[in-house]
Structures are given as structure tokens and as C-alpha cells.
Amino acid sequence: MSEPRATHHRWDDLPKEPLKDDLSRRLLSTDRMMIAQVFLEQGCIVPRHSHENEQLTYILEGTLRFWLGEDESETVDVRAGEVLHIPPWLPHKAEALETTLDVDIFTPPRQDWLDGSDAYLRSK
């Protein structure tokens, strides 16, 4: 059996996928994890959704406001240098309070992001 090998990637070498006018992403997926750069213009709304994947959202630039729970009763503003953990199946939506760059990490990988069936992100 061969020894596992590390793989080196550069974000700038990965294609930037436009989802709608104010939202785009780059992603990298392995068998058990996914990492994505998500670019949101101020005012961009990510509609309420939930998924089986555990999620970490790390804000590099800007601020995202999240509404959490089925009734969206909990809100949290996540700013540059902060991380939000979203457990599996927790409904959430977000709004970019300013132009934002975040890094999302998912386990397992988001199949809907890989196969393009993430229509909730692509609607105007």
C-alpha cells in the first residue's frame, strides 16, 4: 500500500464560481471535508436553509449577520476574526452587513454545492 500524499492548493488557482450578482465562491473538497471561500457583497442575503453538514464559518473580512433556528429568533453578528459553528440541521440564514469574505468548512462535503443543486443560493 502506498503512503498517503499531501496536496498543495492555491486559492487563486481555483475557479471563482458566480452564484448570483452579489455572491460567488471557490471551493475545494476531499472525501470527508470541504472548504470554501465565499464572497458576499454588502446586502447579499443567503436564504434560510439547513443541511446535514456540520459547518464552521470563519470571517476574514466584513460582517455576516446570522438568524438561527426555525423561527429565526436568535441573531448573531460574526465579524472579521470570528468563527461561528453551525451544527447539522440547524436552520440559518445570513446577510452581509458589509462586503464580506468568509471561509466555510463542512463535514461531510456539501453534495449540493458539488453537483450544483443548491438552487436556494442561486435565486435572485
Q: In what order do the strands lie in the sheet with 23-29?
A: 17-20, 23-29, 34-40, 100-107, 54-61, 83-86
36 lies in some domain: yes
Q: Structure pTM? A: 0.94
Q: Would you say residue 2 lies in a domain?
A: no
Answer yes or no: is pLDDT of 1 > 90: no
Identify any residues that bridge with 60 across adjacent strands, giving them in sequence order: none
The CATH number given to whatever domain includes residue 82 is 2.60.120.10
Q: Is 106:34 a contact under the CB 8 Å cutoff? A: yes
Question: Is 3 within the bounds of a domain?
Answer: no
Residue 104 lies in a domain: yes
Domain that residue 108 falls in: 24-122
Share of the chain above pLDDT 90, in %: 94
Average pLDDT over residues 62-71: 97
Residue 11 has pLDDT above 80, yes or no: yes
In this structure, is residue 10 part of a structural domain? no
Tell me the pLDDT band of 122, cut-offs 50, 70 and 90. confident
> What is the rounded average pLDDT of the residues 78-93?
98
**Structural domain includes residue 31:** yes
CA distance 58 to 102: 6
Structural domains of the chain, count: 1
